[in-house]
């Protein structure tokens, strides 16, 4: 059974299209279930700030990989891959179609593509973290430049967590960190439908979404979660980090809201960059009146192997337009 993935930047309507596709599939005789690939929708209680679809609005369609972690836990792509692929197996076993939806690019790739995760070594990681503390992140990044220049270029000199992980993998495996990165090869038959729109339109959508989140009680949600003890991963989420800064007295509420808007726009561009590099994504205009019909046509073509290759290049309406 072909897996359908709906991907792209935040605020483009991915959840709505996924629900529409699942309903249309069921109406045609093939039941469908949704698998979340948004890293922060994994967390229980992170509802408003992640635009999680409420249970009452899920149209009776089963959802997987939603509300499976406590906010005190750190999310793991490797763990997600294991559990979400098990969901795919179970869905296929029920004769249903899996509709994957989310904007966390690494999670989508981990689920759909040929991607392995090296183990961890607490002693190696602790030593690297100690060196980062004593010598600074720049010193570790310089080492990464020597051992894996491609990884160093992609990670950048200020991301301590990813630099430490890259050096840990090199130490454990004896191979460059980039040797373990995903290849663009599906492990199951799949098609990715990307939603895109004009930059100005998307910026306005983001502003409206943040306003709706504020009205729905985002500040109160973050305050409750802070009392429960937000872990490192959850506390870094866009929408949560900025409100935490306000609750800690470092910004005003207006400043926090403006920061959420700005950082969400920045996130959308980052997501577009990630998915835009994948030539397999079939891009549709999020504002099209016949969006569902277009998406269904992409699925139908993929099922019979009749998608054009577009010369191997991503076909999209650029956010820069």
Where is the binding site, in residues?
A: 8-15
Sheet with 3-7: strands ordered across: 63-64, 32-36, 97-101, 3-7, 190-196, 281-285
Q: What angle do CA 51, 54, 59 make, to 5 degrees?
A: 120
> Which residue, among 282, 280, 239, 232, has the nearest Cα to 258 in the 3D structure?
239
Q: Point out the annotated binding site for ATP.
A: 8-15
To 10 degrees, the CA torsion angle through 265, 270, 275, 279?
120
Contact 48, 216 (CB under 8 A): yes
Rounded to an integer, what distance in angstroms lies between the CA atom of residue 117 and that of residue 72? 23
Whole-angstrom CA distances from 159 to 137, 264, 265 are 8, 19, 20
- Between 137-147 and 122-135, two packed helices, what is the crossing angle to 10 degrees? 120
Phi-psi region of 232 (alpha: psi -120 to 50; beta: other; left: phi over 0): alpha
DSSP state of 239: T
State how beta strands 113-114 and 183-186 pair: antiparallel
Annotated binding site for substrate: 10-15
Q: 189: how many CB neighbours lie within 10 A of its CB? A: 12
Strand spans (E) along the chain: 3-7, 32-36, 63-64, 97-101, 113-114, 183-186, 190-196, 281-285
């Amino acid at each position: 059974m072909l897996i359908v993935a709906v991907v792209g930047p935040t605020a483009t309507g991915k959840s709505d299209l996924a629900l529409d596709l699942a309903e249309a599939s069921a109406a045609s005789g093939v039941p469908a279930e949704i698998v979340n690939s948004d890293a922060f929708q994994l967390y229980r209680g992170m509802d408003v700030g992640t635009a999680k679809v409420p249970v009452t609005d899920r149209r009776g369609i089963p959802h997987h990989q939603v509300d499976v972690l406590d906010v005190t836990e750190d999310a793991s792509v490797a763990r997600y891959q294991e559990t979400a692929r098990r969901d795919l197996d179970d869905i296929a076993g029920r004769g249903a179609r899996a509709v994957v939806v989310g904007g966390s690019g690494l999670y989508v790739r981990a689920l759909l593509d040929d991607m392995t995760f090296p183990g961890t070594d607490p002693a190696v990681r602790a030593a690297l973290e100690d060196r980062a503390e004593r010598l600074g992140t720049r010193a570790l990044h310089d080492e990464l430049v020597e051992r894996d220049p491609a990884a160093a270029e992609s990670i950048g000199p200020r991301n301590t967590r990813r630099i430490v992980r890259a050096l840990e993998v090199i130490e454990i495996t004896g191979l460059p960190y980039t040797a373990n990165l995903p290849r663009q090869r599906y492990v199951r038959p799949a098609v990715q439908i990307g939603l895109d729109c004009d930059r100005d339109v998307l910026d306005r959508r983001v502003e409206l979404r943040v306003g709706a989140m504020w009205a729905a009680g985002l500040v109160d949600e973050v305050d409750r979660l802070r009392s429960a003890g937000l872990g490192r991963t959850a506390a870094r989420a866009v929408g949560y980090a900025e409100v935490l800064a306000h609750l800690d007295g470092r910004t005003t509420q207006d400043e926090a809201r403006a920061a959420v808007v700005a950082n969400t726009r920045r996130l959308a561009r980052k997501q577009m960059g990630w998915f835009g590099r994948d030539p397999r994504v079939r891009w549709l205009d999020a504002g099209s009146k016949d969006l569902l019909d277009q998406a269904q046509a992409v699925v139908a073509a993929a099922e019979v192997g009749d998608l054009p290759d577009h010369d191997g290049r991503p076909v999209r309406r650029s956010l820069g337009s």
